[in-house]
Amino acid sequence: MQFKSIIAAAAIALAAATGSAQAAPEKSKLTLGVGGKPLLYYLPLTIAEQKGYFKEQGLDVSINDFGGGSKALQALLGGSVEAVTGAYEHTIRMQQKGQDIQAVIELGRFPGIVLAVKKSHEGKVKTAADLKGMKIGVTAPGSSTNFFVNYLIAKAGGDPKASAFIGVGGGAGGVAAIEKGEIDAISHLDPVISKLQVDNSVFILADSRTEAGTKAIFGGSNPAAVLYLKGDFIKDNPQTVQALVNAFSKALKWLETAKPEDVVATVPEAYYLGDKPLYMQAVKNSMETYSKTGIIPQAGMESAYGMLAKFDDDLAKAKIDLSKTFTDRFVKAAR
């Protein structure tokens, strides 16, 4: 009887150990693309990297930083990266183009994008429609910062095609472009926006860094940065994807209780744009934007599609299956 009990206990222990063990990633070494890594929009990526969460999951992740989200997407389609931290909207636009791109975790629940206009235009520019004929800086044409201002112009009754969009990159290039008079307005993120505000170089026309601001612009939540990959890669490498999501999920959990001081102490000094107190303020401005669950709500997906359809007639006519743009199974397994 005692022998049977020992055998039973051993079997239970073995089953528990086997059930809790995660299979090794099919592809332990991979390259991840991002469009403007120092931007607070992508802070969960930097936290996962700096805290060693990728390595904890058995992953050797190389990060390729591009000038904007659209360029990171191009790298994914071209095969030079296996995964991208980028805007959720790209999964919708790619479905329209016949490309199976799927998000596997939400990193930002609010875009955090701000449309700011050069101070010299104050009084002249009252709505986004007034930007007609002006030069607008974005991280890169075709990126989420471009989509954001397109939507605002169309919502205000204007035509996005009547403005010129200039790629200024994800770093200090946007600040320099405003200061040199190369652009009239800018659709960008922190810490760039906070720097321009401190310098009193711009005034704010639309701000999606908070829940209230996002609701005022979109009427509700609007997903921002996500981790997305090709559908075939997800199918062929589920354990690799799970490992990536585990790392990002841990980064989001860390951010839930982190103080701005903790963030500042974790990121590279180069992110400060030469002004540590300013970066601290930018972090405070952005802490509300990060996802609490990693899951994109249905209303958020619909809001993102509605934003794109507002200024893209072809997309508005297309049959988009939003259920194919995001899967929550990896997030649920991680949490």
What CATH number did the domain enclosing 194 receive? 3.40.190.10
Q: What is the pLDDT of residue 170?
A: 85
Distance of alpha carbon 221 from alpha carbon 214, whole angstroms: 7
Q: What is the pLDDT of residue 285?
A: 87
Q: What is the pLDDT of residue 335?
A: 85
Q: What is the pLDDT of residue 1?
A: 40
One domain for residues 100 and 247: yes
Distance of alpha carbon 306 from alpha carbon 326, whole angstroms: 16
One domain for residues 269 and 291: yes
Bigger pLDDT: 2 or 305?
Answer: 305
One domain for residues 106 and 241: yes
One domain for residues 242 and 93: yes
Model pLDDT for residues 201-237, shown as the tens digit of each residue: 999 999 999 999 999 999 888 999 999 999 999 999 9
Model pLDDT for residues 50-98, shown as the tens digit of each residue: 999 999 999 999 999 998 999 999 999 999 999 999 999 999 999 999 9
Q: 201 lies in which domain range? A: 114-218
| Beta-bridge mates of residue 83 | 32, 229
Bigger pLDDT: 22 or 121?
Answer: 121
Question: Residue 18 has which token pair?
Answer: 């086997």
One domain for residues 265 and 322: yes
Question: Residue 256 has which token pair?
Answer: 């839930």
Q: What is the pLDDT of residue 221?
A: 85
Residue 327 lies in a domain: yes
Domain-ending residue, one of 198, 218, 238: 218
Q: Per-residue pLDDT for 2 more than 80?
A: no
Q: Per-residue pLDDT for 19 more than 50?
A: no
Mean pLDDT of 312-321: 94
One domain for residues 161 and 208: yes
Q: How many domains does the chain have?
A: 2
Across the chain, mean pLDDT equals 92
E-strand stretches of 89-236: 101-106, 114-118, 135-138, 164-167, 185-188, 202-207, 225-230
**Cβ contact 153:159 at 8 Å:** yes
DSSP 123: T
One domain for residues 233 and 92: yes
69-75, long-range: CB < 8 A, 24+ apart: 69/35, 69/36, 69/139, 69/140, 69/142, 69/143, 69/144, 69/145, 70/35, 70/140, 70/141, 70/142, 70/143, 70/146, 71/35, 71/140, 71/143, 72/33, 72/34, 72/35, 73/33, 73/101, 75/33
Mean pLDDT of 156-169: 97
Q: What is the pLDDT of residue 21?
A: 55
| Beta-bridge mates of residue 202 | 118
| Beta-bridge mates of residue 31 | 62
Question: Residue 296 has which token pair?
Answer: 């994109």
Residue 7 lies in a domain: no
Model pLDDT for residues 175-205, shown as the tens digit of each residue: 999 999 999 999 999 999 999 999 999 999 9
Which of 55-64, 272-281, 325-334 is the least confident region? 272-281
Q: What is the pLDDT of residue 14?
A: 38
DSSP 23: P
**Cβ contact 87:224 at 8 Å:** yes
For tokens 């955090």, what's the residue?
112
Model pLDDT for residues 142-153, shown as the tens digit of each residue: 999 999 999 999
Bigger pLDDT: 282 or 10?
Answer: 282
